[in-house]
Amino acid sequence: MYEIPVTLTQNPKKKPEDESKLGFGKIFTDHMFVMDYEVGRGWYDARVVPYGPFVMDPATTVFHYAQEIFEGMKCYRRQDGGLQLFRPRDNFERMNRSAARMGMPAVDVEQVLAGLIALLKADADWVPSAPGTSLYIRPTMIATDVMLGVHASHNYRFYIICSPSGAYYPKGLAPVGIYVEPELVRAVKGGVGFTKTGGNYAASILAGELAKQKGYEQVLWLDGRENKYIEEVGAMNMFFKINGTLVTPPLLGSILGGITRDSIIKLAKHMNLPVEERSLTVQDVFDAAERGELEEAFGSGTAAVVSPVGRLAWNDKEITISGGEIGAYTQKFYDMLTGIQFGSVQDPFDWVLKID
């Protein structure tokens, strides 16, 4: 239905030789999808072109006021060599919710999906096949007016770039140490916490660096009002298994509604594991640990997949969860989710979109 013109590169890059050393988001494929927007005209010039830099005026609004949104999704290589996406329409629909909050135009979900598929066909050889690797996909929208007034831009660029990637955390599926940030906050209700806008990540960088200096991989954010309710981690939603029930914070506007989070909730119901979306405080978690009822904790995200939390530090206390090992359900969720994503486990939810 959507014809996307494709210009193939004349200078293909050398592909990585050792897929076990890809890291996350460090190298990029040969092509990108791009389209532009102008108020009154709508989106125009949807195209797949060779990957390369954009030349932009230093006064372009995105550089000053951060009117920018993005998404994160993956393309997986099946055992039979074919390629597939996981819930791609959910990503573009979430992008439209981010766009609405940031005063940016919506995209046509079917058009950008057609653009993504055209891009993946051009870059199919870049989708890695080593265990645990995939092609990370980064749809992005930026405001491109050249002006310094603070108001919605009239022009935007939407683009998709792709990066063959391995595990987000350098240690792979190994328990991570998480630091509960006691003072700095990421987002508040009414703000933009539920969107995937660059500013949320910029706001998290200082705390992330401080946590790293203390020996932890990620920051766990608390609510911005009372500094006690658990929100989410820098790049993932949180789950706790307490006394046989899976608990995850509800979507009240300050955290991202993760597509992996939603998938875990549905998988838990499918497995008859009780699951509750409810507010819980960091004190609740430490109390449950004290009573011996905190059975497992893990984060969920596209990049992070299912990531066990082995240590949780809050003020001067630190707890070890599941003996610092991968919990049984954490492993089960990881296996089921990645099994569906890579096509080795049957997909009862119609989540997978095969593209060849």
Residues 66-125 within binding reach of ligand PLP (CB under 6 A): 72
Give which of 192, 202, 303, 290 is closest to 242, Cα–Cα. Answer: 290
Q: How far apart are CA 92 and CA 107, in angstroms?
A: 8
Q: Is 235 in the site for ligand PLP (CB under 6 A)?
A: yes
One DSSP character per residue, 6-23 reads B---SSPPPPPS-GGG--
Q: Counting beta carbons within 10 angstroms of the beta carbon of residue 23, is it exposed (0 to 12), middle (13 to 18) or buried (19 or more)?
A: middle
Residue closer to ligand PLP (CB basis): 164 or 258: 258
Residue closer to ligand COI (CB basis): 263 or 314: 263
Residue closer to ligand PLP (CB basis): 142 or 264: 264
Residue environment code for 187-215, b if the CB has 16+ CB neighbours within 10 A, otherwise e: beeebbbbbbbbbbeebbeebbeebeeee
Q: Is 232 in the site for ligand PLP (CB under 6 A)?
A: yes
Task: Check residue 272 and give left, alpha or beta (phi > 0: left; psi -120 to 50: alpha).
Answer: left
**Site for ligand PLP (CB under 6 A): how many residues?**
13
Q: Are the C-beta atoms of residues 317 and 286 closer than 8 Å to each other? A: yes
From residue 261, alpha-carbon distances to 65, 124, 287, 301, 304 in Å are 30, 28, 24, 7, 11
DSSP 8-class letter at 60: B
Residues 282-301 within binding reach of ligand PLP (CB under 6 A): 300-301
Residue closer to ligand COI (CB basis): 235 or 288: 235
Residue closer to ligand COI (CB basis): 60 or 302: 302
Contact pick of 242, 256, 297, 340 for ligand PLP (by CB under 6 A): 256
Contact pick of 303, 309, 337, 352 for ligand COI (by CB under 6 A): 303
Q: Is 260 in the site for ligand PLP (CB under 6 A)?
A: yes
Q: Counting beta carbons within 10 angstroms of the beta carbon of residue 53, is it exposed (0 to 12), middle (13 to 18) or buried (19 or more)?
A: exposed
Q: Counting beta carbons within 10 angstroms of the beta carbon of residue 118, is it exposed (0 to 12), middle (13 to 18) or buried (19 or more)?
A: buried
Report the nearest approach of ligand PLP to the CB of residue 299 (Å): 8
Spell out the residues 6+ positions from residue 336 whose beta carbon is closer than 8 angstroms to its own.
267, 271, 345
Contact pick of 164, 175, 299, 301 for ligand COI (by CB under 6 A): 301
Q: Is 237 in the site for ligand PLP (CB under 6 A)?
A: yes
Residue 232 interaction partner, one of ligand PLP, ligand COI, none, beta carbon < 5-8 Å per kind: ligand PLP
Residue 145 interaction partner, one of ligand PLP, ligand COI, none, beta carbon < 5-8 Å per kind: none
Residue 294 interaction partner, one of ligand COI, ligand PLP, none, beta carbon < 5-8 Å per kind: none
Site string for ligand COI, 58-77 (x = CB under 6 A): --------------x-----
Q: Is 235 in the site for ligand COI (CB under 6 A)?
A: yes
Residue closer to ligand COI (CB basis): 175 or 234: 234
One-letter amino acid at 352 equals: V
Alpha helices, H only, the chain? 61-65, 88-101, 109-122, 198-202, 205-213, 259-270, 282-290, 328-342
Contact pick of 29, 302, 322, 338 for ligand COI (by CB under 6 A): 302
Report the nearest approach of ligand COI to the CB of residue 235 (Å): 4
**Strand, helix or coil at 110?**
helix
Contact pick of 236, 268, 309, 321 for ligand PLP (by CB under 6 A): 236
**Could you list the residues that contact ligand COI (CB under 6 A)?**
72, 201, 235, 301-303
**Could you list the residues that contact ligand PLP (CB under 6 A)?**
72, 232, 235-237, 256, 258-261, 300-302
